[in-house]
Amino acid sequence: MTELRFTRDLFLRCVCAVFLVAFTSFYIQIPGLYGKNGILPARTQLISKGSKNDIAAQIQKKPTLLWFGKNLGIETEHLMEILSLIGIFFAFTGFVSQKCCTKPIFSALWSLYYSLYQVGQTFMWYQWDVLLLEVGFLSFLLAPWIQRSPKGKKVQTTDPVDGINLWLVRWLLFRLLFSSGVVKLTSGCPTWWGLDALSVHFQSMVLPTPLAWYAHHLPTWFLKLNTVFANFAEILLPIFFFFPLRAVRLVAFWIQIFLQVNIILTGNYNFFNYLTIALCLSLVDDEFFLGSKSGKKSGWLKTILKLIVTLSVYGGLLYATIVLYGLKLAPDHTIAAKITFTPKEFDAALGRAMPTSCVIGFLSLAFAIYKSLKSNFSQTGTTQLWKVYSFLKVVFHILAALFIFSDSLVPFSTLHPAGNSTTTKEMRYAHERLSHLHLTNAYGLFRKMTGVGGRPEVIIEGSNSMEGPWLEYHFRYKPGHVNDSLPVVAPHQPRLDWQMWFAALGTYHQNPWIMSLTYRILTGQKDVLGLMDGARNPFPEKPPKFLRANLYHYSYTPWSQKDRVTTWTKRKVGEYFPVFSKDHPPLLDYLKNLNILGDEGKEPDSPAGLAKALNELRQVFTRIEPLYLMISLLMTGFAVIFFGSLPSSGPQPSRNQQPQQQHQQTQSKGKKKKF
């Protein structure tokens, strides 16, 4: 049987590392986003109309551990900090110690993050947040109850259920990438159909990195070719994740890693791409990392056959890509590309691909189940009771895998009407009842390319007079002043900066939270201002009397500007929201209707000692730039792993003691044989 224990353990530790940065990034933003005077106070999500002490009813309505705050006499904000700190601790221990990568740990990580997600509102409604929840649940299934040493008598190197559970991870990777590729074309976005998306993407993405400016100025034909590669990697390739030949899957693994690394280099997509890389580990096995334990090499004929099959598969994919995207060498030695199929033809092909991919997935799962059962029955040197327990465990994981697979078909089927043939009424009903747990989700990133003709940006300005002067409020990472350099932020996600990007795509009426941000700035709330660039606060002593916002379109400076003093050029489009003051009656009434104002004193105050301790601990965390804080935590973890793996250097026995010890060991071995 294929060895998977090292791969399984590596995947679990990578998931712990992602949870570590996710909890840390969230923790340092809690007061400004969800505090008593934050933008969207979390207490507004914990309003119970029934009995205040009916915890069971409250949890059933909105499952979150934060309901216990009132019973414990702890403010919601402080309890969120406590849950985040516990999550950081559990994630760190799982990252540095394989012994902590167990079901109880992942159960705690999932429960803690889910509890925070329940009150996260618009600042946590991102696909990577629900993806992390889904991965956390699969990690719970994959992790053992107790990490045992492989040297034990009753323990195999690979657990029979590892193959099934890692297959579920692979199925998630397939759904994530395939869905993200398909929606780009089903949306009808002209930039994707014209292969011009990357000519816009590097400029319009939420938080571009310094390399994004250079990527944006690459030749147009090369950017089109990279768009073709993205479609190839996300639409054509994922189905081969289930190909029986290992070599085919390994090539797919390297292609996906190459894609994710390039995305990381040009865009700050928090922990999303790192989590996707962790999912890619489901395409490999222990031999990929450790080499073959048997030391036997395949015969030359078998090796040649594998090579022929692998070359045939990828040769066929390359030929299909050339035909479908009209790739040809132009007279100027560039590569021309143009989609040769119509939207109607793509729709028809997708209608056939949807049920086909589900059938292939089911057959692949059935094969993983067969190998798991075969491995279970081939165990030797175990007691009868252990065999019964192992068999029951395999049966449980088979049933769990079948349920998760069938449940995932419901959100997956939304890609195309033909997907309805893969689900039943009962499956859709079950998914609807459990959808709030986010065990399986629908995915689809970059459905439409925004920012054609310039990326929209909301610029907030304050003044003490209606006549001005109006001074700009700066954010920590998003584009503002044209001289600002592009930041490197990931794996940290500055959620306010991200949400400002979405706000610019609509109106302030469609983004009610921005009215709360306006009021918090006008009243000088330090926690909210801490989410912005405090070093460049235009009103450091006292908040302004008036606030307004205008909409601008930003574009990169041209390549011809060699001495690039400025990064952006901007053009004013118009007003985003009118002038407001902190006493503006419509603004106050609006915030009261959202429960943001008016009920601040309804929850208990945390004990003074606890509040002081949390505040002091927060000062330690926030003293460091978020990116450097997360790098420090990860580097500390790597140091613990490295030094913990070094052999101990205790005192060695002297030469006179060695013969005596060897004699004692020989005697003890003899006694064991007699017994």
pLDDT at 671 over 80: no
pLDDT in tens, 483-514: 889 999 999 999 999 999 999 999 999 999 99
pLDDT at 387 over 90: no
Residues with Cβ < 8 Å from 325, sequence gap 6 or more? Answer: 195, 228, 231, 337, 338, 339, 340
| Cis ω before 160 (30° cut-off from 0) | no
Residues with Cβ < 8 Å from 152, sequence gap 6 or more? Answer: none
Q: The tokens of 312 are what? A: 């045939």
Q: Which class for 581: exposed (0-12), middle (13-18), buried (19 or more C-beta within 10 A)?
A: middle
The C-alpha atoms of residue 639 and residue 90 are separated, in whole angstroms, by 17
Residue whose C-alpha is closest to residue 353's, from 401, 406, 422: 422
Which carries the bigger pLDDT value, residue 656 or residue 561?
A: 561
pLDDT at 89 over 90: yes
CA 146 to chain centre: 26
pLDDT in tens, 17-52: 999 999 999 999 999 999 999 999 999 998 876 555
pLDDT at 674 over 90: no
pLDDT at 123: 96
Beta bridge partners of 493: none
CA dist list (Å): 637 to 88, 99, 105, 132, 333: 12, 14, 17, 21, 49
The C-alpha atoms of residue 636 and residue 624 are separated, in whole angstroms, by 15
Pairing of strands 471-472, 335-336: unpaired
Residue whose C-alpha is closest to residue 419's, from 350, 360, 361, 366: 350
pLDDT in tens, 237-292: 999 999 999 999 999 999 999 999 999 999 999 999 999 999 999 999 999 998 87
Q: Is 577 helix (H, G, I), strand (E, B) or coil?
A: strand
Count the alpha carbons within 13 Å of 276 in the hemisphere toward its beta carbon. 29
Ramachandran sector of residue 381 (left: φ over 0; alpha: ψ -120 to 50; beta: rest):
left
> What mean pLDDT comes out for the span 531-538?
92
> What mean pLDDT comes out for the span 96-105?
95
- Phi, psi at residue 194, to the nearest 5°? -90, 0
pLDDT at 565 over 80: no
pTM of the model: 0.93
Tell me what percent of the residues of the chain surpass a pLDDT of 90: 77
Cβ atoms < 10 Å from Cβ of 110: 24
Cα torsion for 487, 490, 493, 496, to the nearest 10°? 10
Domain ranges of the chain: 1-153+617-645, 160-285+301-452, 455-606
pLDDT at 641: 92
> What mean pLDDT comes out for the span 633-655?
75
476-515 per-residue burial string, b: 16 or more CB within 10 A, e: under 16: bbbbbeeebebbebbbbbbbbbbbbbebbeeebeebebbb
Mean pLDDT of the chain: 90
Q: The tokens of 55 are what? A: 């915890």
Locate the DSSP E strands across 491-637.
546-556, 568-580
pLDDT at 152 over 60: no
pLDDT at 590: 92
Ramachandran sector of residue 274 (left: φ over 0; alpha: ψ -120 to 50; beta: rest):
alpha
pLDDT in tens, 458-485: 999 999 999 989 999 999 999 999 888 9
Which carries the bigger pLDDT value, residue 118 or residue 378?
A: 118
CA 357 to chain centre: 24
The C-alpha atoms of residue 484 and residue 287 are separated, in whole angstroms, by 47
The C-alpha atoms of residue 359 and residue 112 are separated, in whole angstroms, by 35
pLDDT at 294: 63
Residue whose C-alpha is closest to residue 439's, from 135, 164, 142: 135
Q: The tokens of 50 are what? A: 């029934």
pLDDT band at 300 (very low <50, low <70, confident <90, very high): confident
pLDDT at 561 over 80: no
> Are the C-beta atoms of 314 and 306 separated by less than 8 Å?
no
Long-range contacts of 533-538 (CB under 8 A, 24+ apart): 533/474, 533/475, 533/476, 536/474, 537/473, 537/474, 538/462, 538/471, 538/472, 538/473
The C-alpha atoms of residue 312 and residue 160 are separated, in whole angstroms, by 32
pLDDT in tens, 160-215: 999 999 999 999 999 999 999 999 999 999 999 999 999 999 999 999 999 999 99
pLDDT band at 295 (very low <50, low <70, confident <90, very high): low
Which residue matches tokens 């009868």?
Answer: 384
pLDDT at 55: 81
> Are the C-beta atoms of 397 and 141 separated by less than 8 Å?
yes
Beta bridge partners of 571: 553
